[in-house]
Structure 1
Amino acid sequence: MADRRGNSSVDSSTSSGNTVDSRGDLDRAGDRLTCPCCGSGLAFKASGSSGRLESLGGAIPATAGTMFIDPHAHMISRTTDDYEAMARAGVVAVVEPSFWQGQARTSLGSYVDYLSSILGFEKFRAGQFGIRHYCCIGLNPKEANNEALAEEVLAVLPEFAAKDGVVALGELGYDEQTPQEDRCLRLQIDLARELDLPIMVHTPHRDKHRGTLRTMDVLTEHQFDPARCVIDHNTEETVREVLERGYFAGFSIYPHTKMGNERLTEIVRQYGPERIIADSACDWGVSDPLAVPKTAALMAERGIAAASIRQVTYSNALAVYGLSGVMREADWLDPPPLDQRTLFRGNSVLRGGQTPRIEVATPTMHDLRIR
C-alpha cells in the first residue's frame, strides 16, 4: 500500500494465491504504533499542530449503464450480499467515513484496529465485487467526549489520514455540542487544511439546526473553503443555509427517519441539483445500502431530469471527494480485471466449493504486436 504522499508500504491485497505480511502488533515503544493494515510505523503527532430497483412506486427498471456513488456507507457493518446488490444496481464506488460503531471504544488499540480495517480489509472486500472503496478518517464527535482516548486518537490521525484511499477527514462535527467536541472539531479542521483534504461533517441528531449553523461558523473561523466540505445528514430545516453558504449538502436516506426518497426528490425540485448529494449512511442499524439507486429511480419516476439525477447521485460526490487527488473516475471506468481468487492476508471472501469470479482483460490496440 502507498500513502497519499507516494511512500510505499506493504500492499493490502495480493495476486492470486499469495498473501501479504501479517504484521500489525500494537507497539507503543518510543511513541510509535505499528499499523495493522499495512505494517508501517505510526508516529505520534501533537494534537495541537443493471437490475430492478424496489422503490416507493414499486419495481422500477434501472437505466442500463447507470453509475452511482454512495459517498457515505459504513460497509464494515454490512454483508457481502449488500456489496453484490449494490454492484448489480450500478454502485461503482463507496466512501466509508469513520463513525461510532455502536459500542464505545475503550482504547487507542481498538481505534487503530478499526481504522486499519476500513482502510485495508474493507477496501479489499469491496473490490472483490467490483466496487471501488475510499475512506474518510477522523475522530467522531460522540467519542470525542472521552478526553483521554480523544487525545491519543488525535495524535495518530495524521498518519492514518495520509494513507492510500483517504479522500477526506470525517465524520467531524458535533453530537451533544460540548466544549470537548468543539476542541476536537477545530483540531481536525486544522489537520484537514494542513493535509489539503476535504471534510465530511456530521450534523447532530438533536438540535440539528443550531449545531449545523455552529459548525459552519467554526469552519468559517478556520477559513476552511466551503467548496471542499460536505455538510451531511441535512433536513429541510438546514438545507437552505448550507447551500447559501456554499457547502455541499449531503442527505442520508434512511427508512422512516432523517430523510426519505420522496422528501429529497422535492428538495431537488425546489433547490436544483447543485451541490446536493444523496447517500445511504448504511450501517449496523435499520438502513438501506440501495438508498442511492432507489432514490435515483424515484426521482426519474417523478420527472426529475436525468442530468440532475446524475449530479445528485454521482457527479457532485466525485467533484468534492475528487479534490483529494485520490478518487478518480478512471478507477472504475478502467479497472483491473476482477479475480476472486485474490487473498487478503490469506483470507478470501469465498468459502469452500464456491466458484470464484474471474475476469479476463480485454485486449486493446496497445496490446497488439506485429510478429
Structure 2
Amino acid sequence: MMFFDPHIHMSSRTTDDYQAMAAAGIRAVIEPAFWMGQPRTNVGSFIDYFSSLVGWEKFRASQFGIAHYCAMGLNSKEANDEGLAREVLDILPQFALKESVVAIGEIGYDEITPAEDFAYQWQLKFACDHDMVVMVHTPHRDKKNGVLRSLDVAAEMGVPMHKVVIDHNNEETVRAVLDRGAWAAFTIYPNTKMGSERMVEIVREYGPERIIVDSSADWGVSDPLSVPKTAKLMLERGIDPEAVRLTTWQNALDAYAQSGQIDIEQLLAAPAIDQRALFSDNSVLRGQAPLVLDPVKN
C-alpha cells in the first residue's frame, strides 16, 4: 500500500525518519507551518522557516522518493504576539501562492483569544479570495467548542466546507465536522490526541467518508510511521481494505488536490531518486554511496 501523511512537521525530524517513512510506504506528506517550541522574536525567522518548507524540506523528502507539499500560515499560538503576527501576515502572501503549497494552515484557535480570531479570519479571507484549501488546528482545551467555532467562522467568511480540513479531531468532534461537510482529520499522536486503536473504532463507527489519518509528528514524543501502523491495525481488526485505503491515502489526496498543486499522475508513478543532487551545495548524505533510481531506465 501507498500512504499519504497529510500533517507532519518534518523540520523537526531527522533524515533517517524520511528513510524509514519511504520504506514503510509513505509516498507523500504535507508539512503545515507551525510554531517551533519557543516563541520566534522577529519576522525574519518566519521568512527563513517558510523558505525552508518550499525549499530544503521539499528537496530532503525527494531524496527518498517522497513527494513533499506544505501549508502556509500563521499558527494560532503565535497569533497572540499581535505586533509580530501582523508582520507575518504581511509577508505570508509571498509564500502562500508558491508551487507545492496546497493549503493555508495550520490555522485556527489555541486559547480562543481576540488576537487568534483576527489572524484566523484574515487567513480565511485570503484562502477564500484565492480559492485555497484550509487546514484548521483545533485547541487542546475546550476542543468541541473550538471546533464548532472554527466551522462557524469559516462558514461566515465564505470558505466552502469541502475546502476545510479540521484536524486533531476526537470522538466528541467527528460528528459535527462530518455533518457540516468538512473533512475530519485525526492526529495519531501518543497520549495527548488520538491513538491507533481509537482510530480503528472511529472508522468502524463512521465509515471512511471524508476521514483522514495523519501523524502530526513533530519535536515532541511522536511517531512519523503512525499512518502505516494505523493502517496495519485497521486491517488486523477487520476494517475493509478499501476503507483503509481511503483514510490513509485517497481522502487526503482528494482534499488537497483541490489546490491544483498535486500532479496525481506523477504521484502515482514510481519516483525517480538521485541522491547525487545538491541543495545550496548541501547533500543529505554524509559519505554514503548515493542511491540513483530511474524507473524509466530500470
Q: Quickly name the TM-score band, shorter chain normalised.
A: over 0.9
Structure 1 distance, partners of 2:10, 2:2, is 18
Does residue 359 of structure 1 match 2:284? no
SS at 1:296's partner residue? Answer: helix
Matched ranges for 1:202-281 at <5 A: 202-281=137-216
Greater C-alpha Rg: 1
Change in Cα spacing, 1:253 to 1:336, as seen in structure 2 (3 Å) is closer
Show the counterpart of 1:119: 54
Structure 1 distance, partners of 2:239, 2:54, is 36
Residue deviations 1:41-78 (CA, integer Å, cap 9, x gap): xxxxxxxxxxxxxxxxxxxxxxxxx1000000000000
Q: What's the offset of the Cα at 1:123?
A: 0.3
8 Å Cα contact 1:175-1:181 kept in structure 2: yes
Q: What's the offset of the Cα at 1:91?
A: 0.3
Query: Could you tell me which of 19, 35, 53 is aligned with 1:100?
Result: 35
Does residue 136 of structure 1 match 2:110? no
In the superposition, the TM-score normalised over structure 1's length comes to 0.79
SS at 1:123's partner residue? Answer: helix
SS at 1:96's partner residue? Answer: strand
Matched ranges for 1:193-208 at <5 A: 193-208=128-143
Unmatched 5+ stretches in structure 2: none
Show the counterpart of 1:87: 22
Show the counterpart of 1:151: 86
8 Å Cα contact 2:128-2:158 kept in structure 1: no
SS at 2:273's partner residue? Answer: coil
Calculate the aligned-residue CA RMSD, in Å: 1.1
8 Å Cα contact 1:136-1:169 kept in structure 2: yes
Show the counterpart of 1:109: 44
More helix by share: 2
8 Å Cα contact 2:270-2:295 kept in structure 1: no
Residue 268 of structure 1 aligns to which amino acid in structure 2? V
Structure 1 distance, partners of 2:282, 2:94, is 26
Structure 2 distance, partners of 1:336, 1:343, is 18
Structure 1 distance, partners of 2:156, 2:38, is 33
Residue 243 of structure 2 aligns to which amino acid in structure 1? S
Show the counterpart of 2:8: 73
Residue deviations 1:131-178 (CA, integer Å, cap 9, x gap): 000000000000000011111100111111011110000001000100
Query: Could you tell me which of 295, 309, 313 is aligned with 2:230?
Result: 295
Q: What's the offset of the Cα at 1:222?
A: 1.1
8 Å Cα contact 1:132-1:331 kept in structure 2: no
SS at 1:133's partner residue? Answer: strand
Structure 1 distance, partners of 2:69, 2:206, is 29
Moved over 3 A (4+): none
Structure 2 distance, partners of 1:335, 1:270, is 35
Moved more, 217-226 or 326-335: 326-335
Query: Could you tell me which of 324, 339, 342 is aligned with 2:274?
Result: 339
Structure 1 distance, partners of 2:148, 2:164, is 14
Structure 2 distance, partners of 1:280, 1:323, is 21
Q: What's the offset of the Cα at 1:333?
A: 2.3
Structure 2 distance, partners of 1:154, 1:229, is 20
Structure 2 distance, partners of 1:342, 1:203, is 38
Structure 2 distance, partners of 1:214, 1:139, is 18
Show the counterpart of 1:326: 261
Unmatched 5+ stretches in structure 1: 1-65, 365-371
Residue 167 of structure 2 aligns to which amino acid in structure 1? D
SS at 1:157's partner residue? Answer: helix
Structure 2 distance, partners of 1:331, 1:233, is 29
Residue deviations 1:325-370 (CA, integer Å, cap 9, x gap): 0013223223662110000010000012x10001134259xxxxxx
Structure 2 distance, partners of 1:245, 1:362, is 44
Residue deviations 1:62-97 (CA, integer Å, cap 9, x gap): xxxx10000000000001111111101100000000
SS at 2:279's partner residue? Answer: coil
Structure 2 distance, partners of 1:150, 1:81, is 34
The count of aligned residue pairs is 298
Percent sequence identity over aligned pairs = 59
Residue 103 of structure 1 aligns to which amino acid in structure 2? Q
In the superposition, the TM-score normalised over structure 2's length comes to 0.98
